[in-house]
Amino acid sequence: IFDQLLREHPRDVLIARRLAQAIVYNDQRVGLCTEPLDLLIRRFPDDVELDCLYAVALIRENRPIEAGQQLDLARRKGFDPAVVI
């Protein structure tokens, strides 16, 4: 449902965040989480919450170094990842 809402409201970062959460926290998801999230962080490059959710997706794909880099990026932007994760 969030992907449809984002198509209808392509500049709404709140919808993008909910879509990212739905992807990342869906334990029954088959396939990579990072691919759809990559599109979201490209669309909203300044959104630190999406950076953090992308880090969670990287961890789920056993990519801890890249996840750490994403979290460092969020910190450099002045955000505490613990707020999201």
Model pLDDT, residue 11: 93
Burial code (b: 16+ CB inside 10 Å, e: under 16) for 7-39 equals: eeeeeebebbbebbbebbeeeeeeeebbebbee
> What pLDDT score was predicted for residue 3?
83
Q: Print pLDDT tens along the chain (85 aa).
A: 788 889 999 999 999 999 999 999 988 877 788 888 999 999 999 999 999 999 999 999 999 999 999 999 999 989 999 988 8
Predicted pLDDT at 75: 93
